[in-house]
A and B are shown apart, each in its own frame.
Chain A
Amino acid sequence: MCTVCGCGQGETKIEGESHEHTHVHEDGTVYSHSHGHEEEHHHPHDHDEAHAHPHESQEHLHVHDDGTVHSHGHVHEGGHHHGHEGLDIHFGHGPAHAHAPGMSQARMVQIEQDILSKNDAYAGENRRLFQEHGIFAVNLVSSPGSGKTTLLVRTISALKGRHPVAVVEGDQQTSNDADRIRATGAAAIQVNTGKGCHLDAHMVGHAVERLKPADNSLLMIENVGNLVCPAAFDLGEAHKVAILSTTEGEDKPLKYPDMFAAADVMLLNKVDLLPHLQFNVPLCIEYARRVNPNLRVILISALSGEGMDEWLGWLEDNLKAAAARREETVAQLRQRVAALEAEVARLKG
């Protein structure tokens, strides 16, 4: 459990998946979630592999080829893939991995690997999928209650009939927000992170494979309300959009700079309340640009609709660009296929 912000792992639930289930990906990640067997995972993993480090259950002694003796416990089904060639001497239950003194052989292994490389690899897969399908994906990040879901509902209504919209909802508990989105007629899927305080790219990959957003659609990902760690987790989105509401105080960008540095757009929401508050808008924008000089700021009210045109304009420009990039890729592929076919025809002569 996270002592900094209270997150933990292993309790993720993706709505609509049929049974609880642990699977081991090809790369060895053990992922516990529920899902139906009909669907395809778009990232490769193996449902059969049973033996993942660290070993569990039976304790026993290993004598390696080089004479090293050590004891540990492990499951015997699934075979070893860590190269124990020696004999197994079972001796009941002892401490796991208690090495015989003086017989171990330490060595150094150079790694040079980014700590978040796993998440980043999943994010890369998501991003590739979005690009292939012309999907424009935004990751909405904010404190709890800044107005993310209200804004999503209003955005979906405004785009109705013009652009298909799909939503991934991240919350620790409840499917309330996904229910609010579905009431608009848009497709939504709830991811409950349990103790986890952010969405990661692996969860989003699984959610998207259930959601199956249409080509050239808008995918909005509402992250868990938290101004801290969602900043560090790439989900494969095109842009992070930070939402700050006027009731939170203008110094939030200085208090939680990573989030405002990671975002490309800041929506300053609940501006309808400004007459009742002591909130200095220019100072807030100055603070935000101090941590991110290129930040685009839009003043908005999800309640009154003020500022919605600018926000919708930004979304539509990006939707067009994503669709155009996909067209271009498809046209290039067609050209290549045509060239190959011509070549085949020429060879057949």
Chain B
Amino acid sequence: MHEMSLAEGVLQVIEDYARKEGYRRVKTVTLEIGRLSGAEPEAMRFCFDAVVRGTLADGAALEIVETGGSGWCLACGKTVPLEARYDPCPDCGGYQVQATGGMEMRVKELEVE
């Protein structure tokens, strides 16, 4: 997917809240990344370090909470766990599965000073 733009999105959120919350430095950033969001945690780390260089989050630690994926299988008529976005239903093998959980890409909390 597109981790550089996502990392820039994270920095924008951090900078917005800096004005609201009156902090000047960010020590830890906690993200919630769903397994079906399409964002790769490893690529995200790499891009984050590059994007925050020279900003108020320079050198900040990045913590990523990964949340599991789930989907609604039309054939089975129930919610099933999903490893990846376009995987078949683990029960019936069909592809009529609508992703319902694990798509989030969110800044959860910050440790600031």
List residues of chain A with CB under 8 Å of any chain B CB.
1-5, 7-9, 27-29, 52-54, 70, 72, 81-83, 97, 99, 104-119, 197-198, 200, 228-229, 232-233, 254, 257-258, 261, 290-291, 293
Contacts and interface: CB of A to CB of B under 8 A. Distances in A.
A246 B18 CA distance: 49
Contacts of A198: 2, 5
B6 to A, nearest CB: 5
Contacts of B9: 115-119
Nearest to A196: B5
B1 interface: yes
B105 A109 contact: no
Most B CB contacts (10 A, CB to CB) among A3, A111, A197 go to A111
Contacts of A257: 85-86
Interface in B30-75: 31, 38, 43, 46-47, 50, 54-56, 58
Interface of B is mostly: mixed
Contacts of A108: 109-112
A277 B15 CA distance: 52
B78 interface: no
Contacts of B50: 1, 3
B113 A117 contact: no
22 contacts: A2-B5, A4-B47, A27-B16, A53-B15, A53-B18, A54-B55, A70-B24, A81-B19, A109-B21, A111-B107, A112-B107, A112-B109, A115-B9, A116-B9, A118-B13, A228-B2, A229-B2, A229-B5, A233-B5, A257-B85, A291-B86, A293-B95
Nearest to A2: B4
B24 to A, nearest CB: 6
Contacts of B38: 232, 258
Nearest to A7: B4
B25 A97 contact: yes
A228 B21 CA distance: 35
Nearest to A27: B16
B109 A290 contact: no
Given A54-B54, A228-B2, A229-B2, A4 B43 contact: yes
A109 B10 CA distance: 14
A115 B47 contact: no
Most A CB contacts (10 A, CB to CB) among B15, B27, B111 go to B15
Contact of B1 (A99, A118, A200, A232): A232
Interface of B: 1-6, 8-10, 12-13, 15-19, 21-25, 27, 31, 38, 43, 46-47, 50, 54-56, 58, 85-86, 95-96, 98, 104-113
Contact of A115 (B15, B21, B85, B107): B107
Nearest to A120: B9
Nearest to B46: A3
A110 B3 contact: no
A32 B19 CA distance: 20
B110 A109 contact: yes
Given A82-B18, A118-B12, A232-B2, A106 B106 contact: no
B14 to A, nearest CB: 8
A106 B55 contact: no
A174 to B, nearest CB: 22
Given A2-B5, A106-B111, A228-B1, A261 B15 contact: no
Given A82-B22, A107-B112, A114 B15 contact: no
